[in-house]
Structure 1
Amino acid sequence: MSSVPVFAEPEELYALVLDTTKQPGKDYVIVDVRDADFKGGHIPGAVNVLASEMYDKANDLIREYANVPQVYFHCALSQVRGPKSARIYCETMNNLGIETDQKVKILRNGFEGWHTKYRKQEGLIEDYDKSVWEWAIEEQ
């Protein structure tokens, strides 16, 4: 079955991240395609693959995570880079002829939505640098 990316609500990923019986990289993988802002904080266990490098890195991602049941892509807002990266991943998998039940998803509202919703909860943002996000906190 060919994969086609679909949107996932943050609550779905939230439940996975908090589930201590699930391991990132084994039960699910989060692919954060942001650039420099990844260093300001990211979802626990996320791997950073720049959207601009997705065509070059898709084969490696597929090789490493083909047996992971769920792959979540996101960027800052999941409006352009996240969905495009998920599409490239799926197209590459289809072009390689890989048959899988893997679910490829795009985190709705991206990291900014995650940050807005979960920044006050311990353990939901790794490597958090508040100074990077002061503008977002001030707007709320």
Structure 2
Amino acid sequence: MTSMNIIELPWHAAFPSPRKQEPGAMTRGEVLKMMKDSGSEAGKDYLLVDLRRTDHQGGTIRGSINLPAQSLFPALPTVYNMVKAAGIRKVIWYCSSSRGRGTRAACWFDDYLEEKGDKNTQSIILLEGVKGWVKGGAEYIDWVDDYDHAHWGSQ
């Protein structure tokens, strides 16, 4: 009997690499300012997308929807149609750090926007992801739903 080495590919290997590799970005300060703006509303003016799946503990930024990155690529047309129907012009993607899933998602969506000829919708990442958001301190933590200090204390 021979032993077989099973190589497990990363989840994103099942999908094409995004053409663009560097998405637009916003800092936590810019996002918080936008959220506090009385004329700006989550789900209407912008959409925050939390891409975490199994690491979705500790809370999520207020107003975010959870769309695990592993299910995003096939759902791009649906996400696009929902964003357009709602008149949303800015989609902000994040994961734990926004260096893997966040960047990939923003670039995939940006590629899709380009295919559609949509120059009015932005696809950007939240720099440093939710970890960076929480590290911003109390002002940011106040905007985390279901915040769990025990989870973030170990970060």
Give the TM-score category using the shorter length.
0.7 to 0.9
Q: CA RMSD in A?
A: 1.9
Larger Rg: 2
Look up the SS of the partner of 1:38 in the other structure.
coil
Q: Is it true that 1:70 corresponds to 2:90 in the alignment?
A: yes
Q: Is it true that 1:48 corresponds to 2:55 in the alignment?
A: no
Tell me if the contact between 2:59 and 2:144 (Cα under 8 Å) persists in the aligned partners.
yes
Give 5+ residue unaligned stretches, structure 2.
1-19
Q: 1:28 aligns with which of 33, 46, 57?
A: 46
Structure number with greater CO (CA < 8 Å, separation at least 6) is 1
TM-score by length of 1: 0.84
Q: Percent identity between the aligned chains? A: 24
TM-aligned CA deviation for residue 131 of structure 1:
2.0
Q: 1:6 aligns with which of 18, 24, 27?
A: 24
Look up the SS of the partner of 2:103 in the other structure.
helix
Give the number of equivalent residue pairs.
Answer: 132
Look up the SS of the partner of 2:39 in the other structure.
coil
Give 5+ residue unaligned stretches, structure 1.
none
What corresponds to 2:128 in structure 1? 109
Which amino acid in structure 1 is aligned with residue 101 of structure 2? R
Look up the SS of the partner of 2:145 in the other structure.
coil
In 1, Cα distance between equivalents of 2:129 and 2:72: 17
What corresponds to 1:19 in structure 2? 37
